[in-house]
Amino acid sequence: MKLLLALAAMGALCMVRPAAAELAPGKPAPDFALPDAAGKVHRLADLRGQWVVVYFYPKNDTPGCTTEACNLRDRHHELVKLGATLVGISVDSPSSHAEFARKYSLPFTLLADEKGEVARAYDSLLNLIVFKMAKRNTFLIAPDGTLQKSWLGVDPKAHADELVQTLRALQNKG
């Protein structure tokens, strides 16, 4: 009986996933309003006119997430030079984000999606009923607010380099 309930719940979760077409390049990026470590609310709409990198990650202070965050930290100046704002999102609390950012000197904003609603809107929520976490996905949002590129299940070691290279290539095309 428990297995049936779990399977039914997982099936229900699948039904609320966004359609792939909703997250396709050229489509509007789902808006969000989430608090940072200090409680200040950040909205995607406030970043219109610039490139935005939204990266979802599972959990603060875990090996893969630390590797990814530190690599992004080390390439952050290049992203800024290319006109991009970098935002990390996980389901961790604001206080957990504050400690993680302090411990690794992260120069970019981490946002707390404790209910997982934004991760769900980006099809980046792993919800296993007993716990939830964000999937390791990244979205590049163009200055007009549309999705430009998505990376699903990224490699934490190589992803920062991919972001910089992709942003350079896109800007050299235009």
Catalytic residues: 65
DSSP for 36-91, written as a single string: -TTS-EEEGGGGTTSEEEEEE-S-TTSHHHHHHHHHHHHHHHHHHHTTEEEEEEES
User: CA 67 to CA 169: how far, in whole Å?
Assistant: 24
Give the closest residue to 140 by CA, choosing from 60, 52, 77. Answer: 52
100's tokens:
């993680």
Which DSSP category does 123 fall into? T
